Amino acid sequence: MSTEIQQETETADEQTPEQIREEVAADLSEKRREQIKEDLNSAEKTIQLEVFRYDPEIEGKEEPRFDSFKVPYHRGMTVLDALIYARDKYDSSLTFRHSCRQAVCGSDALFVNGQQRLGCKTQMGELEHPVRIEPLPHQDVVKDLVVDMEHFYDQMEAVEPFFDPDDLPDGELEEQRQTPENREKVKLSTRCIWCGACMSSCNIAAGDNEYLGPAAINKAYRFAMDEREGSDRKQERLRIIEQEHGVWRCQTQFSCTEVCPKDIPLTEHIQALKRESIKNNLKFW
Amino acid sequence: MSQSYDRGTVESFGRWLEFKPGMWAWILHKLTGWILVGYLFTHIAVLSTATQSPGMYTSTLQGLEELLIVRFLEIGLLTVAVFHILNGIRLLFVDLGLGLGRQDVSFYVSLIMTALITLASLPTFLGGAL
């Protein structure tokens, strides 16, 4: 046994740096060859997009319809890339929101093949063809893929989504320290990019316009669970979330959690706030 | 200016094939709940014959049990009740914040257990009837 190990070590030792370099290069070039092959194959491939079109301001386009676009596919192509191609190449009037292209700005939440997804985070290669792209359901459409987000923002603001501690630190540039445990507790909730996918997927929010919705409740969770805010502030936050159209509307369908592009456990946060609000109201007298 | 209009199948149940487990669990829980509420009325109607006379209650039950369709309805009732109970337990765990990451698995488990319990009940319900 030990002789074998010795032998192996010896063989490894025998390899000169040049040999190792060559080996690595061969391995890399193999991978590169595969990638080039894949690129060549996909170069001939086009993907058909079925894009929802609607423009209430132009005569003859007031009726919603679907336009087809054939887009050349390449490895790594996202839904947003495909839409940009279709707009630049075929129809400059095709309207959709986008900005950062890296799942941070939350502008391009779309209804792709029957599910709320971020256009810039969804790979075309992973979707069934033709790819059907629609504006977010349960929101009014302004034009093509652009929906009116006003109501969503109103609900977000209704939970007062800002940090509001009782005391400020002495020095102007002093940090407001939080324990690592508490940070861990709210960590996932801080990921929200306000894209509105969860709100659009929620069946309850669709039927009840006053319901705060998963995104706003998640935002409320982020601050209600923050240990640095005072107890009066927490009471005020709980008052907002336990109102009739607050957390209790959630019927745990898990749709929001399924579609969240940032993988925030929204239902879990809503349930946690339900428990928090019960604990807050329990009285033994 | 945004406008509201009917987007056809976009927002309808026509997309049921795309529903996720959590949504199915919710739909089935509602459905079984309403069926159990409906059954309650039948249950009370049958029980109320006992207020007339013990004989009437016995003959009503015997008459019902002789009908094959009643045996099948009873199997259906058991299936509905068992699923509602098991998914109810799943929802209790969801409310307690336990296993939310595996809520789809727990839904499948409640479906499988419902099927097994229903199958196991068949000899009892159909014994002597077929």
Residue A203 contacts B, CB cutoff 8 Å: yes
On the question of pLDDT at B2 being above 70, the answer is: no
Which segment, A1-10, A196-205, B58-67, B77-86, is predicted with the most confidence on average? B77-86
At residue B126 the predicted structure's pLDDT band, cuts being 50, 70 and 90, is confident
- Identify the domain boundary among A119, A147, A175: A147
Q: Note whether residue A27 is domain-resident.
A: no
Q: Note whether residue A6 is domain-resident.
A: no
Beta carbons of A115 and A169 less than 8 angstroms apart = no
Task: Give me the interface pTM, i.e. the ipTM.
Answer: 0.82
Q: Note whether residue A161 is domain-resident.
A: yes
Q: What is the pTM of this model?
A: 0.83
CB atoms within 10 A of CB A202: 25
Can you tell me whether residue A207 is helix, strand or coil? helix
If asked whether residues A61 and A100 sit together in one domain, one would say yes
At residue A43 the predicted structure's pLDDT band, cuts being 50, 70 and 90, is low
For B17, the closest chain A residue by CA position comes to: A114
Residues of A numbered 55-74 whose beta carbons fall under 8 angstroms of chain B's beta carbons: which are they?
56, 64
Quote the domain boundaries for residue A272.
150-281
If asked whether residues A198 and A231 sit together in one domain, one would say yes
Domain spans, chain B: 19-126
If asked whether residues A105 and A128 sit together in one domain, one would say yes
If asked whether residues A249 and A220 sit together in one domain, one would say yes
Q: Note whether residue A12 is domain-resident.
A: no
Average pLDDT of the residues in A155-182: 88
Is 1.20.1300.10 the CATH number for B19-126? yes
Average pLDDT of the residues in B48-64: 93
On the question of pLDDT at B5 being above 60, the answer is: no
The whole-number pLDDT of residue B13 equals 60
Q: Read off the CATH number of the domain in which A134 is found.
A: 3.10.20.30
Per-residue pLDDT tens for A139-150? 888 899 999 999
At residue A173 the predicted structure's pLDDT band, cuts being 50, 70 and 90, is confident
Instruction: Inspect the interface and report whether the beta carbons of B23 and A255 lie closer than 8 Å.
Output: yes
Shortest CB distance from A255 goes to which of B22, B95, B97?
B22
Instruction: Inspect the interface and report whether the beta carbons of A252 and B97 lie closer than 8 Å.
Output: no
The whole-number pLDDT of residue B7 equals 58
Tokens of A263: 């993988």
Per-residue pLDDT tens for A2-24? 445 555 444 556 788 888 888 88
Q: Read off the CATH number of the domain in which A267 is found.
A: 1.10.1060.10
Query: How far A16 CA sits from the closest chain B CA (Å)?
Result: 50
If asked whether residues A188 and A135 sit together in one domain, one would say no
Can you tell me whether residue B82 is helix, strand or coil? helix
Go through A257-278 and write b for each residue having 16 or more CB atoms within 10 A of its CB, e for each that does not: bbbbbbebbbbbbbbbbbebbe
If asked whether residues A193 and A111 sit together in one domain, one would say no
Residue A80 contacts B, CB cutoff 8 Å: no
If asked whether residues A208 and A229 sit together in one domain, one would say yes
Instruction: Inspect the interface and report whether the beta carbons of B95 and A275 lie closer than 8 Å.
Output: yes
The whole-number pLDDT of residue B3 equals 52
Instruction: Inspect the interface and report whether the beta carbons of B23 and A203 lie closer than 8 Å.
Output: yes
**B25 neighbourhood in chain A, CB within 8 Å:** 253
Query: How far A22 CA sits from the closest chain B CA (Å)?
Result: 46
- Identify the domain boundary among A147, A175, A200: A147
Task: Report how far residue A13's alpha carbon sits from residue A263's, in angstroms, rounded to the nearest whole number.
Answer: 47
The whole-number pLDDT of residue B130 equals 66
C-alpha to C-alpha distances, B101 to A130, A181, A255, B98, B104, nearest whole angstrom: 32, 20, 13, 8, 8
Q: Is B68 exposed, middle or buried (0-12, 13-18, 19+ CB in 10 A)?
A: exposed
Q: Note whether residue A29 is domain-resident.
A: no
Average pLDDT of the residues in A116-137: 94
On the question of pLDDT at B10 being above 50, the answer is: no
If asked whether residues A255 and A163 sit together in one domain, one would say yes
